[in-house]
Amino acid sequence: MDGINQKIFFTASMQTRNIHKVLIANRGEIAVRIIRTLKRLHITSVAVFDNNDTHSLHCRIADEARPLGEGELKDTYLNIQKIIDAALDSGAQAIHPGYGMLSENPLFAEACAQNNIIFIGPDSESMRVMGNKIKARTFALENNIPVVEGFTGSLETILQKAETFSYPLLIKAAAGGGGKGIVIVRKAEELESALKKSAREAKNYFGDDRVFVEQYIESPRHIEVQVLADHFGKVLHLFDRECSIQRRYQKIIEEAPSVSISDETRSKMYETAKRICEKIGYKNAGTVEFLVDANQHFYFLEMNTRIQVEHTVTEMITGIDIVEQQIHIASNNPLQISQENLVADGHAIECRIYAENPENEFIPSPGTITLYHEPQKRNVRIDSSIDSETVVSPHYDPMISKLICHTKNRDESIRIAQQALSEYIIQGIDTNNAFLQVLLTNSDFITNNMDTFFCDSHRKTLLYAIEEARKKVPIAAIIAVFLLYDFNKKQLFDRAENIWETIGYWRYHMDVFVAVFEKKHLVKITSKQPGYLCGTIENKPFKVQLVNQNKHQLKILLNGRSETVFVSETSENNTCVHLRGFDFVCSRADQLDQTITYLSADETSETVNFCSPLPGKVIKINVHEGDIVERGTVMLIIEAMKMENSIISPTHAKVAHINVKENQLVDTKMQLIVLKGEK
């Protein structure tokens, strides 16, 4: 869907005389989303990109694109001077920062002002008050806004103050957001190491290693209020959002409005959010976040002085384009929306699609997307950073896109969202799609019995549900589709020939071994024609026929049943088959397999060799050659997609060799460490 909701209930009469060209100081799906609104408003868009993003979607759809060179984020998207220079060089009157990156950096807002560039966001002082959790907390206390009890200071000060608090405690990055730097501590002996971990993450992501600690609230809800404020003292709320479904302290499903809070609590939260804006003289779009306990008591958490990832669900229920309103406010125009006329229409749900593996601790999954297909359904909106096969870099956040569903009520939105996810095809890398599908059908989620630790407390149940749902797809059907593709890819799919086509060899009753997720299955083929195969799989007969195809999408008849499947070849030269909502990796087991594994063991020498499970950067090595490690010892930490991933010893062993250094970039072919078994 281009732009947002097709009906805009309260679109302002834009006066864009001051803003004719906007540079977007961001990348990915938010840059694409901003550009689409700019196009609708006939405002010229300027994208920026580093060397990894040369062919990215936001560069291709923008009217202009300016290079930022190569290097780490601090050298490109976080380099204020480069962004300012690009804006001045392009003639842009304004900069939209999106979310993340430089969006809450007061120095960036000030640099824009110093260069007569309009910053589409709040002023730097509002950022300084609300962009830092410590200052925001002080502000809240001074204005009688309820907050959770907490404290900050040096490492020694925090350790001393913590002695007077009961556990669990929650550590947060002072300048943080997006779940970065958050750690729950349940035992006093874990506090010091957790503080160091949080500070390290905060330094890496925000350039500020300060943290603070607060009393942890058990089973909280995460509710937030969207606000708009202009330069004439008018402040509006655009209702609320439920953001309790999180993993790694980062949201994965958001809803609007929340169905968890009473009308009385809702009204008080709205007034508190507006009062905060009025007290600090806030201008532009922002989000005030609260924790709500089981007794409907709410506590101010933070204010995000930018557009949020989940702004989409608010747009869907209100019909308001929030990016348009940001531009309108930045142009010094008064808000033309009245609080009395705002209506929350229906219910919206957003599912964030991440490049990660939920079945392996949500480890990031950068790599090459070999097939990308968006669902085409009514009431469904896709905000995406990609539109075709592409490389997902390990250098950025793992979020690929967002699927948003808007219908008349929550039950209907859940149903449509689940269907749309099953038709959303992303092959070549791991994603959390299946995890989201089973989450949406979980009975506790459906009945709204949840809190911010829903994914942790339900993890085993959800992973079991994925496994059971996957088992319902017949292996024979997967193998039949795979072989149909494998034997016909030269003629029908313009792919490389397989060995049988190359040597012109064919006979009836040919035996083939097919591996599905590495488990081998015997197939006897009794008849083969272009677009047609029949035979037996594990002694059960099958017949599959190609009806038609559109690139990677195949319409087939499988044992007389019509099916739609998607097929692509992975970067490891395997074949990914998407059937009935799930992806299955298949290969010919009678051909060579040169896949490199993360962990390999030599039983005779009792050595264990570790290769990196993903591309990334080694940020910490905790062991030395000759050290003895135990099962569970964290030997080193790899940062990928802004997440820390621990490489853990599987057994009692001796560190024989360390083949990498801190700050070294690694890929999945690089051996990290070698362990020698200890008797």
**Within 13 A of 400's CA, how many CA atoms are on the CB side?**
31
Alpha helices (runs of H) in 281-409, residue ranges in sequence order = 311-318, 322-330
Cβ neighbours around 202 below 10 Å, total: 23
Instruction: Quote helix, strand, coil % in the chain, to nearest 5.
Output: 30, 35, 40
Point out which residues pair with 541 in neighbouring strands: 536
Residue 568 has which token pair?
A: 């692509």
Beta-carbon contacts of 529 under 8 Å, excluding residues fewer than 6 positions away, are none
The DSSP secondary structure of 270-283, one letter per residue, reads HHHHHHHHHHHT--
**Within 13 A of 46's CA, how many CA atoms are on the CB side?**
24
The DSSP secondary structure of 191-203, one letter per residue, reads HHHHHHHHHHHHH
Question: 542: part of which helix (H) or strand (E)?
Answer: strand 540-550
- The Cα 150–Cα 140 span in angstroms is 13
Residue 329 has which token pair?
A: 């406010």
Residue 600 has which token pair?
A: 């390999």
- The Cα 229–Cα 283 span in angstroms is 5
Cβ neighbours around 377 below 10 Å, total: 16
Cα 309–Cα 315–Cα 320 angle in degrees, nearest 5: 130
**Please, are residues 534 and 543 in contact by the beta-carbon 8 Å criterion?**
yes
Cα 123–Cα 350–Cα 128 angle in degrees, nearest 5: 20
The DSSP secondary structure of 11-40, one letter per residue, reads ------SS-SEEEE---HHHHHHHHHHHHH
Q: Which among 545, 542, 520, 514 is positioned nearest to 532, based on CA atoms?
A: 545
Q: Residue 481 — φ and ψ, nearest 5°? A: -65, -45
User: Can 495 be counted among the known catalytic residues?
Assistant: no
Parallel, antiparallel or unpaired: strands 211-215 and 169-173: antiparallel
- The Cα 537–Cα 474 span in angstroms is 11
**Please, are residues 352 and 376 in contact by the beta-carbon 8 Å criterion?**
no
Q: Which among 257, 368, 306, 331 is positioned nearest to 13, based on CA atoms?
A: 331
Q: Which among 560, 567, 566, 517 is positioned nearest to 541, based on CA atoms?
A: 560
Q: Which of 221, 306, 352, 588 is catalytic?
A: 306
Parallel, antiparallel or unpaired: strands 363-364 and 510-516: unpaired
Question: 633: part of which helix (H) or strand (E)?
Answer: none
Q: Which among 616, 636, 613 is positioned nearest to 624, based on CA atoms?
A: 636
- The Cα 82–Cα 525 span in angstroms is 61
Cα 354–Cα 636–Cα 250 angle in degrees, nearest 5: 25
Cβ neighbours around 582 below 10 Å, total: 18
288-308 as b/e, with b when 16 or more CB fall inside 10 Å?
bbbbbeeeeebbbbbbbbbbb
Active site residues: 306
